[in-house]
A and B are shown apart, each in its own frame.
Chain A
Amino acid sequence: MNIVLRELKAHRKSLIAWSVGMVFLILAGMTKYSGFANSGQSANDLFKGLPGLAAAFGIESVDLTQAIGFYSVLFLYILVMTAIHGSLLGAEIISKEEQEKTAEFLFSKPVTRTQVVTSKLFAALVNLLALNLVTLVASVIMVGAYNTGESVTPVILLLMVGLFFVQLIFLSIGIAAAGISKKPKLAAPVATGLLLAAFFLSLWLDITKKYPGLKYLTPFKYFEGRVIINHNSLDPLYVAISLGIVAVMLLAAYLRYNSRDLSV
């Protein structure tokens, strides 16, 4: 419990900075929309008639002139930002003891390694949840302000659930990188390297339809804004895959961290 409180305190500043950044991103994004909405013609009809064309550009039948449609584009960047937050948090929270030479001190206390990882995981989850809630509130307010049709709150809630799964995936990747690697310095670069690879793969998949199977490799394709908005539900397959990734990553992290030599 002490470790949880300590970690929460240690990450308070960074959480506040991330929250402010997230609110700013949503605020700036939706303010841009207000300029767009006024000038926008009904691109909607054109989009609907030509799913093939739109898909070629990665904007599969979503009406950009609607507040929620524009938000779906913004949502990709929200995913990326929270993914960066999650992977760095996961990598740092575990590797910092070794990197800052506090591991010896920590493990001279009567705690097991499993307890330490569990406490840190718990503190990280609180951080993820807080950032998710901030995103939720900012999104509901900002999209709601420009929305003219029916309420968008339910679909934003759904998007936030998807967002949370992506956060969890990258947090667990970060924790696994730090838990497994004997070089604490490598944890953050490896975790963010995977993140960037996944991001560029998803951009690549947007312009080619040749290898649809590859979309299982990138979490950025699991919970796409436009798909969730159109179907009004999360794909259970992707929820299952996400949970699977998280379970495997955490298991690997626990097993390896329990047995390996710490770098001191």
Chain B
Amino acid sequence: MMNMLIHELRQNQKATIIWTLSLVAGAALYLSIFPAFVTEADTLRKMLEGFPPTFRKAFGVTLESFATVAGFYSMILSYIMLAGSIQAMNLGTSIVSKEERGKTAEFLLTKPVRRSQILTAKLLAAFISLLVTNVVYLVAVPLIINAMAGAIIDIKTFLLLSFTLFFVQLFFLGLGFLVSAWASRIRSVLAVSLTTVFGFYIAGALDSIIGNTAIRYLTPFKYFDFAYIVKNSSYELQFVLIEVIVVILTIITSYYVYVKRDIRST
């Protein structure tokens, strides 16, 4: 159990480091344009005030959060979340399926461990990898905001906003894990993970243009309304519940399926 966990962590080590650095560097790149953005913001804000609400909605921008550091961070967080979701989905999709692809499943399953233990070790390793990414992110980004954007973000708002990255990652980890446990042979992990994540992202992006709220229940990218979080310093309970239920369901189903199914050995 412990051996498997350490083995998986070591295998994921490189990818986790690369992803963590990329996410932080990406955040820094986006935050670096905040000062230029804020100088234009006042003029833009005055212009926007004169327009009907439908027009503002077409841009997905609300007046209150616009051009504050929290508002700007909310905007870029959705991009960081897209990248982070790809990381999580990749991790989930590959961690179980690689044994069959690499023809190591037979070897692993002859060891005196139950299949459920294998899954637990792998799930735990994936969870720890994401946790590491998020801890580094949560420590680094406030410093970057301070240094590059020249602004101080309210720490509670920042944490509430940034925790959503982890939540959405867990959603995709669960989904990827399920796919990984279920499908007997995934030829290309990237094809599965990239199309799934972008699919959810596109669904959310198109619907925010037209202001459709029904999609919020379907795509994790819309579970957390950043403007709502900034305004109320809290999450919307029903979406947190959906998220928790989906994650638990995907994981339980993964165990249920993997414990029973045939594992290809050739």
Contact = CB atoms under 8 A, between A and B. Distances in A.
Given A25-B202, A92-B188, A207 B75 contact: yes
Interface of B: 26, 29-30, 33, 36-37, 40, 44, 47-48, 51-52, 54-55, 58-59, 61, 75, 79, 83, 86, 188, 190-191, 194-195, 198-199, 202-203, 205-207, 209-212
A200 B76 CA distance: 10
Interface core residue of A29, A39, A200 (most chain B CB under 10 Å): A200
Interface residues of A, number: 39
Contact of B206 (A14, A21, A29): A29
A46 B55 contact: yes
Contacts of B210: 32-33, 35-36, 39
Contacts of B83: 196, 200
A37 to B, nearest CB: 9
A28 B218 CA distance: 14
Contact of A188 (B26, B58, B188, B211): B188
Chain A interface SS verdict (over half): helix
Of the listed residues B29, B210, B211, B212, the one surrounded by the most CB atoms of chain A closer than 10 A to its CB is: B210
A76 B52 CA distance: 27
A70 B58 CA distance: 11
B195 A56 contact: no
A203 B198 CA distance: 14
Given A43-B54, A188-B188, 10 more contacts: A29-B206, A32-B206, A46-B55, A59-B58, A59-B59, A77-B206, A81-B195, A84-B198, A196-B83, A208-B36
30 contacts: A21-B195, A21-B199, A25-B202, A29-B202, A32-B206, A36-B209, A39-B54, A39-B210, A40-B54, A43-B54, A43-B58, A46-B55, A53-B48, A56-B44, A59-B58, A59-B59, A73-B206, A73-B209, A77-B206, A81-B198, A84-B191, A84-B194, A84-B195, A92-B188, A188-B188, A200-B79, A204-B29, A204-B33, A208-B33, A210-B36
B38 to A, nearest CB: 12
Contacts of A41: 52, 54-55
Interface string A229-245: 00000000000000000
Contact of A192 (B48, B58, B61, B190): B190
Contacts of A169: none
Interface in A27-84: 28-29, 32-33, 35-36, 39-41, 43, 46, 50, 53, 56-57, 59, 64, 70, 73-74, 77, 80-81, 84
Contacts, number: 85
Contacts of B55: 41, 43, 46
Nearest to B26: A200
A192 B194 CA distance: 9
A188 B44 contact: no
Contact of A28 (B26, B75, B203): B203
- A35, A39, A56: most-surrounded residue (chain B CB, <10 A): A56
Nearest to B72: A207
A43 B59 CA distance: 11
A65 B136 CA distance: 43
Contacts of A168: none
Contacts of B202: 25, 29, 77
Residue among B55, B191, B203, B207 having the largest count of chain A Cβ atoms under 10 Å: B191
A53 B212 contact: no
Contacts of B199: 21, 25
B198 A80 contact: yes
A88 interface: yes
A26 B138 CA distance: 37
A77 B26 CA distance: 20
